[in-house]
Amino acid sequence: MLTIGYIGNGKSANRYHLPFVLQRKDKIKVKTIFDIKVTHDLWKQIPDVNYTQDLQELLNDPEIDLIVVCTGHHLHYQYAKIVLDNNKHCMVEKPFMETSEQAKEIFALAKEKGLIVQAYQNRRFDSDFLTVQKVIESRKLGDLLEMEMHFDYYRPQVPENVHQFNPAHSYLYGHGCHTLDQVISYFGKPDTIHYDVRQLLGKGRMNDYFDLDLYYDQLKVSVKSSYFRIKSRPSFVVYGKNGMFVKETKDRMEEHLKLFYMPDQEGFGVDLPEHYGTLTYYDEEGNYHEEKVVSEIGDYGRVYDDLYAAIMNKTAPTITAEQTILQMEILETGVKGLE
């Protein structure tokens, strides 16, 4: 069994981590959760889990192998360093750190101590992204030319209520960490990047828009997000020499989790036929096709499966230090010059 503890008992831990970990009781045990406030109305305490307001109780427990940091990201560096200094493996919510230098220091410390530290890049296992991979690998699109990825909201009240600019609390950091990791995990390091990162409400305000173009030989991957899209753009549009694939809707796990519909309930996160993407292409004989593609099943818990294998079976981590540092460098570059 992999025995784990948590730093943080808020939305991150209770919505995006614990529901998936509790499905894996055959190999993972949640022993202790630390927070400065461990009781609140929204999240019920889990039976047989120890809740504490004493961090040392978590750090000094010899049974705990892994500690997961689920705090605001301004505390990620501080807590990751404490966890590693206490000889525990560590997973950290995203964005991983506030700077690439912090990330490099944390990875170096983990290597020095023979420990694993990684970011919780759960969006690698989104249904829409997994479905896009399936379509690309079918080769029906032919050679890839362009991919557009959108993560849109209509939440004008968010930037309107922010009256100072903080790089680490920008929209690029908060949501680019989802989509950029997807790109890096599948396509690797880009040859070049074009940045268009804006403060639509003017200087001294929050970054609320970004449009990054990442180039891989003839392929351009565009990562776009805005807080001012009253109707969202498609989640993915992929163009190849032979056709295109459009996935209008995003993975439904977050939608269901917000409704307290959990992974152990039937149909959790599963696309209905109206959510399926459309693949349009010409085959090798020149015949035209337009067909729906049944969506893959997403599962954030696969991050834990990979980490379990890395810690218990000594396999190579799927979410690597190099990928995470590259992402941090892109985030830093994107907001540079804003004020």
106 plus 196 within the same structural domain: no
Q: What is the pLDDT, as a whole number, of residue 83?
A: 98
In 208-265, DSSP assigns E strands to 209-216, 219-226, 236-240, 243-247
Q: What is the pLDDT, as a whole number, of residue 40?
A: 76
Q: What is the pLDDT, as a whole number, of residue 310?
A: 97
The answer to whether residue 325 is domain-embedded is: no
What six digits make up the tokens of 21?
């970990």
Q: What is the pLDDT, as a whole number, of residue 293?
A: 98
Q: What is the pLDDT, as a whole number, of residue 242?
A: 98
Q: What is the pLDDT, as a whole number, of residue 29?
A: 98
96 plus 208 within the same structural domain: no
Mean pLDDT of successive 10-residue stretches along the chain, which has 339 residues: 97 96 97 90 90 96 98 96 98 96 98 98 98 98 98 95 93 95 98 98 96 98 97 97 98 95 95 98 97 98 98 96 98 94
C-alpha distances in Å from residue 178, one per residue of 41, 122, 171, 244, 328: 29, 8, 11, 23, 12
The answer to whether residue 322 is domain-embedded is: no
The answer to whether residue 308 is domain-embedded is: no
**120, 153, 168 — which closes off a domain?**
120
Distance CA 92, CA 90 (A): 7
252 plus 202 within the same structural domain: yes
Q: What is the pLDDT, as a whole number, of residue 37?
A: 84
Distance CA 331, CA 6 (A): 26
The answer to whether residue 268 is domain-embedded is: yes
Structural contact between residues 147 and 181, judged by C-beta atoms closer than 8 angstroms: no
95 plus 163 within the same structural domain: no
Which residues, listed in sequence order, are joined to residue 219 by a DSSP beta bridge? 216
From the number of C-beta atoms within 10 Å of its C-beta (0-12, 13-18, 19+), residue 264 rates as exposed
**74, 89, 120 — which closes off a domain?**
120
Alpha helices in 23-126 (DSSP H): 55-59, 76-85, 100-113
- Under 8 Å CB-to-CB from 10, ≥6 apart: which residues? 35, 43, 70
Specify the number of domains making up the chain. Answer: 2
- Sign of the CA dihedral 171, 99, 32, 8? negative
The answer to whether residue 314 is domain-embedded is: no
140 plus 283 within the same structural domain: yes
Type of residue at 256: H
253 plus 188 within the same structural domain: yes
pTM listed for this prediction: 0.95
The answer to whether residue 297 is domain-embedded is: yes
Q: Tell me, what CATH number does 78's domain have?
A: 3.40.50.720
What six digits make up the tokens of 51?
């809740």
The answer to whether residue 309 is domain-embedded is: no
- Under 8 Å CB-to-CB from 15, ≥6 apart: which residues? 257, 258
Token pair 């940091």 is found at 69
| pLDDT tens digits for range 170-202 | 999 999 999 999 999 999 999 999 999 999 999
247 plus 272 within the same structural domain: yes
134 plus 116 within the same structural domain: no
For residue 66, give its domain range.
2-120
- Under 8 Å CB-to-CB from 106, ≥6 apart: which residues? 77, 80, 81, 84, 92, 97, 117
What six digits make up the tokens of 207?
């970054």
**58, 86, 120 — which closes off a domain?**
120
Q: What is the pLDDT, as a whole number, of residue 182?
A: 98
